Chain A
Amino acid sequence: MNIHEHQAKELLKRYGVPVPRGGVVYASTEVRDITDGLGSRLVVKAQIHAGGRGKGGGVRLVNGTDEAERAAEQILGMTLTTPQTGPLGRLVRRVLVEEGVDIVRELYLGLAVERSLSRVVMMASAAGGVNIEEVAAANPEKIHQISIDPNYGLFAFQARQLACKLSLPPQIAEKVSAAMLASYRAFLALDAALLEINPLVVTKQGDVIALDAKINLDSNALFRHQDLQNLRDVGEEDDLEVEASKYKLSYIRLDGDIGCMVNGAGLAMATMDTIKLAGGEPANFLDVGGGATAEQIRNALKILLADANVKAVLINVFGGILRCDILAKGLVEACGELQTHPPIVIRMEGTNVEKGRGLLADSGLNFTTADTMLEAAKQAVSLATKK
């Protein structure tokens, strides 16, 4: 689960990572409540779940509360387009108002689970403040990494060693290693999947502060974090994806016009791939899961068809746990309830396939059936392009 920068900073502060003073507002009239005592140099930052906000005009350096109010007024309600938002951009509903700081150095600090090591790794770089993926691609030697043994955790000396690689004066290195230890505590305590502080800045006054922060939480661990569940902002998610999550369906909206419904994540991806291979574009990823009921199939079809771009539907099911007759029953019920629907191509195989095909044939509803995935995809593509 993604959370906002201001939420990430509040969490980091709780575990001992210094962050700029400030607070979040939802209306420009609230700015005055925050700025008291922050000094005259202020920063107003759009809060959306995407990076690159500065380039899109979502970050303003201002002088005094009046200017901060005006900046907040301009940013709130704007649709911010950054390299990470896609062409449609994101509506800004909240802004973070913070004290400005005098930056001397910009560092990078990150924590993630490294799959090939089965361990949490900490990454640090003296080349902070820029896109770290570009640094990793162009100058991998500039990123230093240590892996952390879960039996012992992060030793202070490991943090010191890592901080030493950043060519910092001793007192600053000490503060950076303290921030590293605090970040690791936060990562564990929050069940984070990713924690990035970019940049971690050194100020003219010699302080070390997390100027920007990004935390992804492990959705599978949220059951033990009641407080963190409240940090979800459904305004940042696609409305259909939110709707699908209520039914425990795994749905991701894409740009194409062929809706697909599949059981199993791997087969769902493979079905998208086959649509592309047949010359079409998938409108979504949708996994109805292994144990789907007729009710689930109905919900899935409803979500799929709520996307106005969908011109044809491809249903691809391998009946393992989900039997083909259950699928057919759900489909016949769901389509019977609809006035009109785009053409539907069905390819199913596996448990009770004959019974399933019989149910579809006897329904009197207009389904196209196909024997192989590729054939089904080709039919869906041709039906979608037909006027």
Chain B
Amino acid sequence: MAVLVDGATRLLVQGLTGREGAFHARQAADYGTNIVGGVTPGKGALTHDGWPVFDTVSEAVQETAANASVIFVPPRVAGDAIVEAAEAGIELIVCVTEGIPTLDMVRVLAYLDGRSTRLVGPNCPGVLSAGKGKAGIIPSHIAQPGRVGIVSKSGTLTYEAMYQLSQSGLGQTTCIGIGGDPLIGTTFVDALNLFREDPETEAVVLIGEIGGTAEEEAARLINDGYEKPVVGFIAGQTAPPGRRMGHAGAIIAGGKGTALEKMEALADAGVTVVSDAGSIGMAMMERLRR
């Protein structure tokens, strides 16, 4: 088993005919993902790389029975694309797009509130279930089916952790990049709950960064009794306050959201917290040996 993406996933690509969309759709298909079509307004009735292209998501869902969508459209229209997919009944939406205006996301999340649609991202590398498929841009050749789930705000740190887990032979179940924006769909808490229900996931790597309180909320969940071992890393221990470190959400604001606060909260909850991103794999080996 895995979470979010598996053999039953029927994936739609919003922005299939763009450069990024086309490239990553091909990569995902080569990894075994069942891609059923694409959506690009104005390009309906065409085919791209062998897949049918539709003008709207609802038309695509009708024709292909898609149940998941990955979004590669530009930031000015990405908020709209998320809502369009949710309105069409898509269950899992992965939004890769970086740079969506925050107030657009306020409206999108208000729309999704109370609906069953799950959003991952935006500004994220997406979801990969090792050996099963992916929705997003996580490079599949570093994945190896195994025992550990990963949830991370950062793309390249997800890859680092995957690589280390593959090297150590532990491998991964599902890797979830939740994104570095201030407002996102799936949170650390959501991902931890998904992994909790997945029998194949024996342990979880949690990679956070400065800004917000999502890591503290995860620590509270773990502290209340989380059955699986967790190894954590927080990026930005040396980040200066008040500066946005690349990700829109990575900012220490008003003295809040520091790496230290997050590391302490996680350690207090029983998480093995490492201060060097290069030792995540080793720490997990030790934790599972115990």
Distance of A14 from chain B, by nearest CB (Å): 18
**Out of B106, B163, B180, which one reaches A113, CB within 8 Å?**
B106
**Out of A188, A252, A266, A321, which one reaches B243, CB within 8 Å?**
A252
Whether B130 is near chain A, meaning CB under 8 Å from some CB there, is no
Interface residues in A136-165 (C-beta closer than 8 Å to B): 136-137, 149-151
A290 to B250, CA, bound (A): 17
Whether A231 is near chain B, meaning CB under 8 Å from some CB there, is no
Interface residues in B243-289 (C-beta closer than 8 Å to A): 243, 245-250, 254-255, 259, 275-279
A120 to B212, CA, bound (A): 14
Whether B231 is near chain A, meaning CB under 8 Å from some CB there, is no
Interface residues in B104-160 (C-beta closer than 8 Å to A): 104-107, 109-110, 113, 125, 137-139, 141-142, 152-157, 159-160
A273 to B154, CA, bound (A): 15
Interface residues in A199-242 (C-beta closer than 8 Å to B): 218, 220-221, 223-224
- Chain A residue nearest to B216 (CB atoms) is A116
A374 touching B276 by the CB < 8 A rule? yes
A144 to B242, CA, bound (A): 23
Digitize B229-248: 1 where CB-to-A-CB distance is under 8 Å, 0 elsewhere: 00001011111101101111
B207 touching A266 by the CB < 8 A rule? yes
A276 to B235, CA, bound (A): 12
Q: Describe A's contact surface by its main secondary structure.
A: mixed
B102 touching A220 by the CB < 8 A rule? yes
A118 touching B76 by the CB < 8 A rule? no
Whether A372 is near chain B, meaning CB under 8 Å from some CB there, is yes
- Chain B residue nearest to A256 (CB atoms) is B238
**Out of B137, B152, B242, B276, which one reaches A321, CB within 8 Å?**
B137
A224 to B107, CA, bound (A): 17
Known: A250-B246, A268-B246, A320-B155. A351 touches B102 (CB 8 A): no
Whether B213 is near chain A, meaning CB under 8 Å from some CB there, is yes
Which residues of B lie under 8 Å from residue A381 when comparing CB positions?
Answer: none
Whether B192 is near chain A, meaning CB under 8 Å from some CB there, is no
Whether B57 is near chain A, meaning CB under 8 Å from some CB there, is no
A191 touching B101 by the CB < 8 A rule? yes
Which residues of A lie under 8 Å from residue B109 when comparing CB positions?
Answer: 118
**Out of A119, A188, A273, A374, which one reaches B235, CB within 8 Å?**
A273
Distance of B122 from chain A, by nearest CB (Å): 10
Interface residues in B186-243 (C-beta closer than 8 Å to A): 207, 209-214, 217, 233, 235-240, 242-243
Whether B99 is near chain A, meaning CB under 8 Å from some CB there, is yes
Whether B12 is near chain A, meaning CB under 8 Å from some CB there, is no
Interface residues in B157-177 (C-beta closer than 8 Å to A): 157, 159-160, 163
A113 touching B238 by the CB < 8 A rule? no
A140 to B183, CA, bound (A): 24
A321 to B140, CA, bound (A): 11
- Chain A residue nearest to B277 (CB atoms) is A270
A320 touching B138 by the CB < 8 A rule? yes
Distance of A85 from chain B, by nearest CB (Å): 11
Distance of B8 from chain A, by nearest CB (Å): 26
Interface size on A, residues (CB 8 A): 52
- Chain B residue nearest to A112 (CB atoms) is B253
**Out of A113, A274, A282, A349, which one reaches B182, CB within 8 Å?**
A113
Interface residues in A78-93 (C-beta closer than 8 Å to B): 84
B156 touching A267 by the CB < 8 A rule? yes
Whether A193 is near chain B, meaning CB under 8 Å from some CB there, is yes
Whether B103 is near chain A, meaning CB under 8 Å from some CB there, is yes
Whether A318 is near chain B, meaning CB under 8 Å from some CB there, is yes
A119 to B243, CA, bound (A): 22
**Out of A221, A268, A285, which one reaches B102, CB within 8 Å?**
A221
Whether B100 is near chain A, meaning CB under 8 Å from some CB there, is yes
Known: A250-B246, A266-B209, A350-B139. A318 touches B156 (CB 8 A): yes
B99 touching A118 by the CB < 8 A rule? no
B102 touching A373 by the CB < 8 A rule? no
B102 touching A116 by the CB < 8 A rule? no
Digitize B87-102: 1 where CB-to-A-CB distance is under 8 Å, 0 elsewhere: 0000000000001111
Which residues of A lie under 8 Å from residue B276 when comparing CB positions?
Answer: 273-274, 277, 373-374
- Chain A residue nearest to B153 (CB atoms) is A266
Whether A264 is near chain B, meaning CB under 8 Å from some CB there, is yes
A113 to B276, CA, bound (A): 31
Which residues of B lie under 8 Å from residue A224 when comparing CB positions?
Answer: 76, 101
B235 touching A266 by the CB < 8 A rule? yes
Given A150-B106, A252-B245, 9 more pairs with CB closer than 8 A: A118-B113, A120-B103, A188-B103, A262-B156, A265-B247, A274-B277, A275-B238, A320-B156, A373-B278
What are 13 of the A-B contact pairs (CB < 8 Å)?
A115-B183, A116-B212, A133-B254, A150-B107, A220-B101, A252-B243, A264-B154, A267-B235, A268-B246, A270-B160, A270-B233, A276-B237, A320-B138
Q: Which 9 A-B pairs have the closest CB atoms?
A: A266-B154, A265-B246, A264-B156, A221-B101, A267-B156, A269-B235, A270-B277, A266-B157, A373-B278
